[in-house]
Copies of this chain bind each other. A is one copy, B any other.
Amino acid sequence: MNTVRDVCVIGLGLLGGSVLRAAVASGRKAWGASTSVADAEAATADGFDARGGDGAVADALSRAAATDAVVVLAVPLTAVRSVLTRIEQHAPGCLVTDVTSVKAPVHDAARAVAPSVTFVGGHPMAGTAESGWRASTPTLFDGAAWVTTLDGSTDLSAWREVATLALDLGARVVPLDADTHDETVARISHVGHLLAAVLASVGAAGGPVAASLAAGSFADGTRVAGTRPELVQAMTEGNRDALLPVVDEVLGALGAARGSLASTGGLAATIRSGHDALRRMAEQRDAPTTPVRVRLDAPDAPEALLSIGHRGGHVTGFDGDVALADVP
């Protein structure tokens, strides 16, 4: 099981395109297909093995089945179920991972429509407000956290293969269960997209003078509102169960600030909490780490791997059947 699998990428936008570029750059054989003929043609023009259209996706999957390649699903969340259905049809039994920003619904879909495949969920914490093949780059994942999901029933040799792919693409691997992933991205990504959208709307309501005065802090706070709306909608709506309580936390904190401003005129609690929170997160990120080794054939290996992710650590590589990790 130490062979390096070929990589079949379905979807050639920012993430899929970057996976294809980085996989080739790492020395893997890799090909891509997209229902977007434009993205596929752009990839071909850049020298990659890529084809576009519905037939192309089926062909790419059949080729993955023939070579036992790992299939990387890099389509918007709204298209995941239909592509999984086609994987079950054209590449049954394959190893499949994804790069979607929500994990529990993708796991549910895989169980429902692609029961024969071995699915290990993935999510690289990398992106820009740009999209499409033209925005893709082989270095997008350098140093980024790449969540790879597992639970007590996960085939750890399959998990290791997906983790190894993420490492080959330049990322650090964060083992997490799907629910912890979904709650965490609701906090550090999805609710931020909503706040950016609201801030943009409230700013624009100030008319031309607001557009004229808006400077760096407004650009920072609204940057992700420039992302393609259908992508933001798919990921936020797709994470509804985890996102709702986080939106309620934000409403509670902002409502408390509003009440304090209206009554005593004071905003110290809100502002100092935010400032302290940012410093605390920076300290956690910069904390010294201890090396940890997890034998993948040990009975408690899933718990040991999940504990690495929960404590803010990440897997840096493998030594045979042993995962090597750095943990704060």
Name A's B-contacting residues (CB within 8 A).
125-128, 144-145, 147, 174, 176, 180, 183-185, 187-189, 191-218, 220-227, 229, 232-233, 236-237, 240, 243-244, 246-251, 253-255, 257-258, 261-262, 265-268, 270-275, 277-278, 280-282, 284-285, 309-314, 328
A229 touches B145 (CB 8 A): no
B144 touches A229 (CB 8 A): no
B265 touches A201 (CB 8 A): no
B189 touches A217 (CB 8 A): yes
A212 touches B247 (CB 8 A): no
From the candidates B202, B262, B281, B284, name the one contacting A191 in the complex (CB within 8 A).
Answer: B202
CA distance A213 to B175 in the complex (A): 11
A125-B215, A200-B278 known; 4 other A-B pairs, CB under 8 Å?
A195-B254, A198-B270, A212-B313, A233-B267
CB neighbours of A246 from chain B (8 A)? 202
Which single residue of chain B is at the shortest CB-CB distance from A146? B213
Expressed in whole angstroms, the minimum distance between the Cβ of A153 and any Cβ of chain B is 21
A266 touches B249 (CB 8 A): no
Expressed in whole angstroms, the minimum distance between the Cβ of A298 and any Cβ of chain B is 22
A222 touches B274 (CB 8 A): yes
Can you show 25 pairs from A to B with CB atoms below 8 A apart?
Answer: A125-B214, A127-B216, A127-B217, A174-B212, A174-B213, A176-B209, A184-B213, A188-B213, A188-B215, A197-B273, A197-B275, A197-B277, A198-B254, A198-B270, A198-B274, A204-B281, A208-B328, A211-B284, A211-B285, A220-B220, A225-B275, A229-B271, A236-B267, A237-B267, A251-B255
